[in-house]
Amino acid sequence: MNYRHAFHAGNFADVLKHIVLTRILLYLQEKPAAFRVIDTHAGAGRYDLTSEEARRGGEWLTGIARVMQARFSDKALPLVAPYLDIVRAFNEGAELKAYPGSPLIVRALLRPQDRLTACELEPDARKQLVDALRRDTQARVVDLDGWTALTAFVPPKERRGLVLIDPPFEAGDEFARLARGFHGAFHKWPTGSYLLWYPVKNRRAADTLAREVAQAAKGARPAGKCLRLEFSVAPQEAGGPLTSSGLLMVNPPWTLQGQLKTILPELEKPLGQGGAGRFRLESPKP
């Protein structure tokens, strides 16, 4: 799978990932102690939705564009509004022209005492990210392979925080590397929170990853809790575009599962393609 994110920025997978990311960071804000976010595959930071790549992919039109126009219930709106407000802050007026990637969403939610370490190896993406975060004393862009960063930067000195692992899935062994990388990081920092993104094109690969991550979390001392979310906007066709993605949340906020049960049903209609989307939310078995 070749995942050049400029073609996919703002699609359904980004919407789901960034809503969850926002909810986790807002929970971390509830305690005054500082936290750190480590983004292992940070990307360019900001994506131009008027660019040739975005126009060619057009995936944001069935992702963030629909969600920005959706009507949410009184229960769901307060839960998605912080994410939508961040997206609006990168745009003037009602027209969507830009979409913030995970490091800029994180940066919008850092308090003065919090820090971001964003790793990006690809030169063009790294340059764009450096430009976006230039002279920012709370955010550091690191020219380091994300898999190396996983064990190099944990535990952080803050002892609280989140590791976001969102690889491009360009290599055939990316699922296995994700499982191994998480295991190594969690062994060093079992009290941290982790958010792992993966595409669902191969059911066996997705299920194996979830099982191995849950097993690693359960086997740690102290044992970690694991939550799995998958969202499908249409049936996945062989050789077709990605229509289903997943998130594994280890040591998630205790409030997150209930919040997602409120949010996800209200995303099925706006994100569905040719019909309503479908989601599954569960605690995976080791």
64, 191 Cβ separation under 8 angstroms = no
SS3 42: coil
Query: What is the model's pLDDT at position 1?
Result: 39
118, 68 Cβ separation under 8 angstroms = no
Query: What is the model's pLDDT at position 53?
Result: 87
CATH of the domain at 108: 3.40.50.150
Residues 138-146 have a mean pLDDT of 95
- How many other CB atoms sit within 10 Å of the CB of residue 69? 10
Q: Is the peptide bond before 103 cis (omega within 30 degrees of 0)?
A: no
Single-letter code of the amino acid located at 186: F
Residues 128-136 have a mean pLDDT of 94
Query: What is the model's pLDDT at position 205?
Result: 95
Sequence length of the chain is 286
Residues 114-126 have a mean pLDDT of 95
Distance CA 189, CA 220 (A): 9
Token pair for 178: 């994700």
Question: Is residue 225's pLDDT more than 90?
Answer: yes
Please state the φ and ψ torsions of residue 220, each to the nearest 5 degrees.
Answer: -80, 165
Residues 116-139 have a mean pLDDT of 95
Distance CA 24, CA 18 (A): 10
Domain that holds residue 228: 5-282
* Torsion of the alpha carbons at 73, 76, 82 and 83, rounded to the nearest 10: -100
22, 78 Cβ separation under 8 angstroms = no
Token pair 């998130």 in the structure block, residue:
247
SS3 36: strand
Query: What is the model's pLDDT at position 216?
Result: 94
Distance CA 59, CA 253 (A): 30
HSE-up (13 A, CA, CB side) for residue 270: 21
Instruction: Name which residue leads in pLDDT, 54 or 250.
Output: 250
- How many other CB atoms sit within 10 Å of the CB of residue 57? 20
Residue 4's pLDDT band (cuts 50, 70, 90)? low
% pLDDT > 90, the chain = 84
Query: What is the model's pLDDT at position 2?
Result: 41
Residues 271-276 have a mean pLDDT of 90
Q: What is the pTM of this model?
A: 0.96
42, 118 Cβ separation under 8 angstroms = yes
Query: What is the model's pLDDT at position 257?
Result: 97
Q: Which one, of 26, 9, 4, lies nearest residue 259 by Cα?
A: 26
Query: What is the model's pLDDT at position 48?
Result: 95
Token pair 């995303």 in the structure block, residue:
267
Query: What is the model's pLDDT at position 275?
Result: 85
Question: Is residue 174's pLDDT more than 80?
Answer: yes
Token pair 């799978």 in the structure block, residue:
1
- Please give the full DSSP string across 168-226, using - where no structure is assigned: ---STTHHHHHHHHHHHHHHH-TTSEEEEEEE-S-HHHHHHHHHHHHHHHHHSSSPPPE
Catalytic residues, which ones? 166
Q: Report the chain's mean pLDDT, rounded to a whole number.
A: 94
Question: Is residue 89's pLDDT more than 60?
Answer: yes
Number of domains in the chain: 1
